[in-house]
Structure 1
Amino acid sequence: MPIQFADRMATVHRSFIREILKVTEDQSIISFAGGLPNPELFPVADLQAAAVKVMEESGPQSLQYSTTEGFQPLRQFIADRYKEKKGIDVSADEILITSGSQQCLDLLGKVFLNKGDNVIIERPGYLGAIQSFSMFQSNFLTVGLEDDGPDLAELEMVLDQNDSKMFYAVTNFQNPSGLTYSPEKRQGVADLLKGRDVLFVEDDPYGELRFMGEFHKPVVRGYLKDDGVLLGSFSKVAAPGFRLGWMVCSGEMRDKMIIAKQASDLHTSTFAQRVIHRYVTDNNLDDHIEKIRQRYGNQREVMVKSIEKFFPAEAKVTQPEGGMFLWVTLPESVSAMELFDEAIKNKVAFVPGRPFYVDGTGENTFRLNFSNSDETRIEEGIKRLGSGIKEFLTKS
């Protein structure tokens, strides 16, 4: 008897990046494919000490069921940090701790999206959001990115011509492009959304990883006040394996999110929350983040200079001021998917750009990750890739 799956599974596929990572398990391959933090920077000893202290001080409580909202002292830490670092007022009661920021996307889909609802995303857009919202059979509308954020004229047209439920955006060091919204674009987005029944979802997992330029306030709370949802994560500043993220929302929206989370997993790991809280209490998180910024800044600089040295002039590359990614655009006649196959033969990997586009475009683009390689491997990998691109362009 054939198994009858839900209709939604017919249009949702495995994560393209997760499949690529299987190919790069070969240690001889220099991989710029994964969106992975550098494991050398994980605070292993400090987290170990925090875990021991949690077990000694509150072992039974840390192993017990907990509230859906999350560990209150950890939520207060996040709220205080928003005030200190972003200059915005967020209360602990407005914060919902989640199992990674990816769960935030799932909860948003459950609470807001019906089959066929329009969701506006960036072009190119975050693959995790595309996969998550596709589960709810939503219809995607896209807005192109310029060097300093979305094309506001295109965004206004999309908003005017369509009845949309949500606009999802990564405003700092966007995945995959590495681009950041300027203050002018943040204000422009806020102005366009005011008075419209469109939920703005601002995902900010990379915001603290700025190693040049100035920090910007988030659109949510910074420009839209209480309207919208702001997402955050400890994955890029502490350890992704803990799967700790959060959502900032209030009122009826928060109540609905709590209900959806209760139906999903009851609550996020009690132990993980307490360990992270003990870690940020006993250690200076800013000092740790500064180490990450310095390392990633150096690795980004090596990749940019290596690209200038080894890539052909036809390859256009973004210049991010933080985060973990660079974005490469090749001449329109070039297929990055075909280039990937050739690059693997030369023992170097990247992520072709097409999966980041829901409209079938982006064939000539690809993403490079600079956070999970050392400087020597970055230079050698870019050298191999540059040679492959030049050869591929000659054949094309």
Structure 2
Amino acid sequence: MKHFLSNLSLNTRQTAIDSLMDNAATTVPDPVYFSIGLPNRELLPKRQLHEVYNSIFNLKSDSHFNYGGSKGIAPLLSTISKRENISQDYIMITTGNTQGVELSARLVLNTGDTIAFESYTYAIAHSLTHQYSLNALEIPVEADGMNIEALEQLLQKTAIKALYIIPNANNPTGTTLSLKKRKKLVDLAYQYNFLIIEDDPYRDLIFDTRFPSLFELDPYKEKVIYLYSFSKTIAPTLRTGFILAHPFYIKKLEQFKQTTDSCTSPLNQMVVNEMIKTEDWDNSLEKQRAFYETKKDLTKKFLSKMADMYGWTSNEPAGGLFYWVDTHAGDVTEWLRFAANSGVIFIPGSAFALDDQTNTKFRLCYSYVDNQEMIKGFTRLEESFLEWQNQNTTKNIKKIQQNI
């Protein structure tokens, strides 16, 4: 049957995260999942959603049961226009950010083009390199985001078509791009003529000051395509987000969307609009930020202990759902087997790199589990880490003995 498959099918692979999780099954009855990058269950607005759905179903109009326009329904476009302070000409509704990434790739990338990523980034974005047979380059990341000096040095030697970046609370590294670097990155896009795909699902979960987006800093709106999703702040099941881009790009993106899913669910769009159109939405976001900051601080306390005892290092995130941790102690995919057996799961760093490589880093998601589960999970992480290290020590001793 393989001969029926297109080149696109042949080039499409399972994501590294899915591959790793397939091999990380646990038989422990109460596993702790530091691997799941989802909103916390306590924050799911079940009551509000129930009320909103009821209000929509009680409407005399049945338009929400029909198809909608590819650009999006008028009420949601209007609300987003007001909140983002930009004309509706610059907006298109998407079925989540994954669709935004895919449509943006279709818009600008050809086979053989060169795209740049942060050295660790969202695993789905890496799938573009295989699907479109791209030349992919990784740019090092510092505590305040992408190393812009390294990028500029690369641009002096190599032309790129696009750069994909998560500027706020990056998945997986948790880093946030500084304002100075944001301004410089937009300048470089104009100087070296490349397009920035700005994926920004965590912007509303920044704990303190939120910097302007790259799209906001783009004076002509010609070099940045901006992606946002409500999956992390309302619920993933709604699969609703939006793109901000120059109207020239929006018109072409609408054409691609027509042949992808025709339109994002009008019912889901109506629900999102009802959820975000009042000040209650701002209050909800403030509550979410406070909630996740508490969980971040609890994680920070544990990681400080592990740093003192075992030499782990990490950078405190300015927001979002993730801590990025370096054990400096060997390939953590080996440790994952021990951790899974003890009932705790995390994502090894190799899942977020372009190439499958030995990696001492891992992503710890603090958003999904409750605080008591977190404490239990931290204990299991430490115990399984020690078990893994002790086995490695035993192996090394045996090797030395064999060579004597």
TM bucket, shorter chain: over 0.9
Q: Which residue of 1 aligns with 2:322?
A: 325
The answer on whether the counterparts of 1:17 and 1:34 sit within 8 Å (CA) in structure 2 is no
Q: Which residue of 1 aligns with 2:80?
A: 78
The answer on whether the counterparts of 2:26 and 2:341 sit within 8 Å (CA) in structure 1 is no
SS at match of 1:246: strand
In the TM superposition, 1:1-396 aligns within 5 A as 2-19=2-19, 23=25, 27-83=29-85, 90-211=86-207, 213-227=208-222, 228-281=224-277, 284-310=280-306, 312-331=309-328, 334-361=330-357, 363-394=359-390, 395-396=392-393
Look up the equivalent residue of 1:101 and give its one-letter code.
N
Assess, with a 3 A threshold, how the Cα gap between structure 1 residues 315 and 215 changes in structure 2: closer, same or farther. same
1:158 deviates by: 2.1
Assess, with a 3 A threshold, how the Cα gap between structure 1 residues 288 and 242 changes in structure 2: closer, same or farther. same
Q: 1:258-302 CA distances to partner (integer Å, 9 max, x unpaired)? A: 111011111100110011112233661011112211211111111
SS at match of 1:164: coil
1:196 deviates by: 2.4
1:8 deviates by: 3.0
1:20 deviates by: 5.1
Q: 1:198-236 CA distances to partner (integer Å, 9 max, x unpaired)? A: 00111110001022x311111122245413111111111
Look up the equivalent residue of 1:50 and give its one-letter code.
V
Assess, with a 3 A threshold, how the Cα gap between structure 1 residues 2 and 313 changes in structure 2: closer, same or farther. closer
More divergent stretch after superposition (18-27 vs 322-331): 18-27
Q: 1:307-342 CA distances to partner (integer Å, 9 max, x unpaired)? A: 2224544211120021000001122x5001101111
For residues 226 and 31 of structure 1, the distance between their equivalents in structure 2, rounded to whole angstroms, comes to: 40
Q: Which runs of 5+ in 1 are unaligned?
A: 84-89
Look up the equivalent residue of 2:298 and give its one-letter code.
V
CA RMSD of aligned residues (A): 2.0
1:3 deviates by: 4.4
For residues 382 and 27 of structure 2, the distance between their equivalents in structure 1, rounded to whole angstroms, comes to: 22
Look up the equivalent residue of 2:216 and give its one-letter code.
R
TM-score by length of 2: 0.91
For residues 275 and 209 of structure 2, the distance between their equivalents in structure 1, rounded to whole angstroms, comes to: 27
SS at match of 1:264: coil
Assess, with a 3 A threshold, how the Cα gap between structure 1 residues 362 and 258 changes in structure 2: closer, same or farther. farther
The answer on whether the counterparts of 2:196 and 2:225 sit within 8 Å (CA) in structure 1 is yes
For residues 358 and 257 of structure 2, the distance between their equivalents in structure 1, rounded to whole angstroms, comes to: 35
SS at match of 1:381: helix
For residues 19 and 242 of structure 1, the distance between their equivalents in structure 2, rounded to whole angstroms, comes to: 26
For residues 327 and 143 of structure 1, the distance between their equivalents in structure 2, rounded to whole angstroms, comes to: 17
Assess, with a 3 A threshold, how the Cα gap between structure 1 residues 133 and 72 changes in structure 2: closer, same or farther. farther
Q: 1:152-206 CA distances to partner (integer Å, 9 max, x unpaired)? A: 2210122222221100100000000000001111122122222322001111100
The answer on whether the counterparts of 1:343 and 1:385 sit within 8 Å (CA) in structure 2 is yes
More divergent stretch after superposition (227-236 vs 310-319): 310-319
For residues 362 and 383 of structure 2, the distance between their equivalents in structure 1, rounded to whole angstroms, comes to: 16
SS at match of 1:265: coil
1:151 deviates by: 1.1
Look up the equivalent residue of 2:243 and give its one-letter code.
M
Q: 1:11-62 CA distances to partner (integer Å, 9 max, x unpaired)? A: 4321333455563696521110011111221111111111111122254101
SS at match of 1:284: helix
Look up the equivalent residue of 2:8 and give its one-letter code.
R
The answer on whether the counterparts of 1:307 and 1:386 sit within 8 Å (CA) in structure 2 is no
Look up the equivalent residue of 1:326 and give its one-letter code.
Y
Assess, with a 3 A threshold, how the Cα gap between structure 1 residues 25 and 107 changes in structure 2: closer, same or farther. farther
The percent of aligned pairs where both chains have the same amino acid is 28
SS at match of 1:368: strand
SS at match of 1:110: helix
More divergent stretch after superposition (214-223 vs 130-139): 130-139
Assess, with a 3 A threshold, how the Cα gap between structure 1 residues 346 and 203 changes in structure 2: closer, same or farther. same
For residues 306 and 139 of structure 2, the distance between their equivalents in structure 1, rounded to whole angstroms, comes to: 32
Assess, with a 3 A threshold, how the Cα gap between structure 1 residues 282 and 81 changes in structure 2: closer, same or farther. closer
TM-score by length of 1: 0.92
Look up the equivalent residue of 1:384 and give its one-letter code.
R
SS at match of 1:161: coil
For residues 25 and 41 of structure 1, the distance between their equivalents in structure 2, rounded to whole angstroms, comes to: 28
The answer on whether the counterparts of 2:338 and 2:387 sit within 8 Å (CA) in structure 1 is no
1:378 deviates by: 1.0
Q: Which runs of 5+ in 2 are unaligned?
A: 394-404
Assess, with a 3 A threshold, how the Cα gap between structure 1 residues 275 and 28 changes in structure 2: closer, same or farther. same
1:112 deviates by: 1.4
1:137 deviates by: 2.0
